[in-house]
Amino acid sequence: MTKSPAGSIHKHDPELEASVGKDGIDYTRVNLLRNTSVAKLYEDALRYEPGTSISSAGALVTSSGKKTGRSPRDKRIVDEDSTSEDIWWGPVNTKMTEHAFLINHERAVDYLNTRERLYVFDGYAGWDPKYRLKIRVVCARAYHSLFMHNMLIRPTEEELKNYGEPDFTILNAGAFPANRYTTGMTSSTSVSINFKLRQMVILGTEYAGEMKKGVFTIMHYLMPKAGVLSLHSSANQGPQGDTSLFFGLSGTGKTTLSADPARALIGDDEHVWTDTGVFNIEGGCYAKTIDLSAEKEPEIFGAIRFGSVLENVVFDEDTRVVDYSDKSLTENTRCAYPIEYIPNALIPCVGNMPKNIVMLTCDALGVLPPVSKLTSSQAMYHFISGYTSKMAGTEDGIIEPEATFSACFGQPFLVLHPTQYATMLAAKIEEHKVDVWLINTGWNGGAYGTGKRIALKYSRAIIDAIHNGELKSAEYETYPIFGLEIPKTVTGVPAEVLNPATAWQGTPETFNATVSKLAGLFNENFAKYADQATEDVIAVGPKI
């Protein structure tokens, strides 16, 4: 056996064979590359994977094939005795039989066993050693191995030497389809998780984000079972050590508002709140790059360099300069890079106990306040609701803004019932006296089409007022129907903007009708969770 400093293994490694071989992979007849160097992965991707190039900035440009986004309808969790009663079964978590999983597992193993080379990446999920999971990725594409090298936490040489058995294994045979006639399959794509066997199998999609969100789904089950709270959020920490969490769906400003040059970035997407503070689950960031520019988001733009993975972007064939405004392949163009590529990242990515929680929404109806202070019960209500607006033109068939609700601001990745996460969150808010804020980065003065998008400078001024303590001692007034507490003044924000009723440019009748419309949507959505919500949480819903 020859071994490079980066940890490539050629031909034979009995210890690894014995460990990984339990997954059914025949390592005696493949070239196995474990925790391979970035340079070697670049070489293999360029040599063996069509459609791979190097951008002018040095990033690896790859194609994820037909699938350029996640396939939530093809996600399955195995229904087995040890976990079945815990799982929130329904549209998010669809049942799969143990037998069907074994069919898919064998199909993936058979495919991987016919490859000339396999890549194994052993890494960690979670920066806190007490809670971190050992995640092993077995895949056939250098692109996938480099992606997970960036997204998982990279072990030191010593940690890799003593890695031992993984806690969870991902078998990525994404270039090979699932058999559509296997029980429970709805297409040739299948992303399935078996908590009893501690395995995840991917068939029929080469979109790398399935692995990232698969790990998050695994953590979303195992962390609450360990007594700590997993969250779909970004997090940063101020010079005085004060940590803030930012919840928000796509387009609400979660990444933009948490990227603050005056504060250290703990992470941009996935965190766990423990008894001692907050830790990032990931070792990297997976940023959207559509319309990216050095002026708008300098940190992300600067992180796109050697070692980063650019997915499904269009570039100049001669200069290799990427055109980030080009949506011809997909609107979901992305880049995966190690978190240390962000200049003000906090390494290790572990923060202190949160002082503030910011729940972000983009209300296209223009009736939610730019900022309001929430009680613990209101925090639970809005956390379970996870409201924002899909904008016209973003999806086929949407001709006007559409309200959408995603429980816990991350419904596709929940494994337990939303109220279980919300109850844990409420307990932590109470115990640590955390201030919770609902911030609307959407419309003001009227709905989409008549009002204006709340200026980013106003949203930033509000965040600054939260962090410097101004809003803690501000004077408040109660906003009817929703019962929200609105500050009367915020430095840097015009007073008339703060209350949607005074900002509204139309008639009082249209304003009241719009408020009632949104309140009705909230009530209709929350009815799905009312059977498992406490009375105090139900009581703070909008009153029409």
Task: Please tell me the chain's helix, strand, coil percentages from 3-state DSSP, rounded to the nearest 5.
Answer: 30, 25, 45
Catalytic one of 232, 382, 417, 467: 232
Helix/strand/coil (H/E/C) assignment for every residue in 208-248: CHHHHHHHHHHHHHHHHHCCCEEEEEEEEECCCCCEEEEEC
Buried b (16+ CB within 10 A) or exposed e, 171-201: bbbbbbbbeeebebbeeebbbbbbbebbbbb
Q: What sign results for the dihedral spanned by CA atoms 104, 105, 108, 109?
A: negative
d(CA 218, CA 266): 21
d(CA 22, CA 18): 7
State yes or no: is 70 an active-site residue. yes
Residue 52, C-beta contacts closer than 8 angstroms, at least 6 positions apart: 45, 46, 60, 61, 62, 63, 143
78 forms beta bridges with 96
Q: What would the two tokens of residue 114 be?
A: 């016919």
**Residue 354 near residue 429, CB atoms below 8 Å:** no
Compute CA 456 distance to the chain's CA centroid, rounded to the nearest angstrom. Answer: 22
d(CA 297, CA 344): 14
**Residue 442 near residue 452, CB atoms below 8 Å:** no
Q: Is cis: bond before 401, omega within 30 of 0? A: no
Catalytic one of 334, 390, 428, 467: 334
Concatenated DSSP letters of 31-98: EEEES--HHHHHHHHHHHSTT-EE-TTSPEEE--TT--S--GGGEEEE--TTTTTTS-BTTTBEEE-H
Helix 508-526 / helix 376-385 crossing angle, nearest 10 deg:
80
State yes or no: is 428 an active-site residue. no
Catalytic one of 34, 76, 254, 428: 254
Catalytic one of 268, 269, 363, 435: 269
State yes or no: is 255 an active-site residue. yes
State yes or no: is 250 an active-site residue. yes
State yes or no: is 502 an active-site residue. no
Catalytic one of 190, 255, 333, 361: 255
Catalytic one of 250, 404, 510, 516: 250
Catalytic one of 67, 70, 76, 132: 70
Catalytic one of 105, 107, 115, 213: 213
Compute CA 425 distance to the chain's CA centroid, rounded to the nearest angstrom. Answer: 18
State yes or no: is 269 an active-site residue. yes
Catalytic residues: 70, 213, 232, 250, 254-255, 269, 334
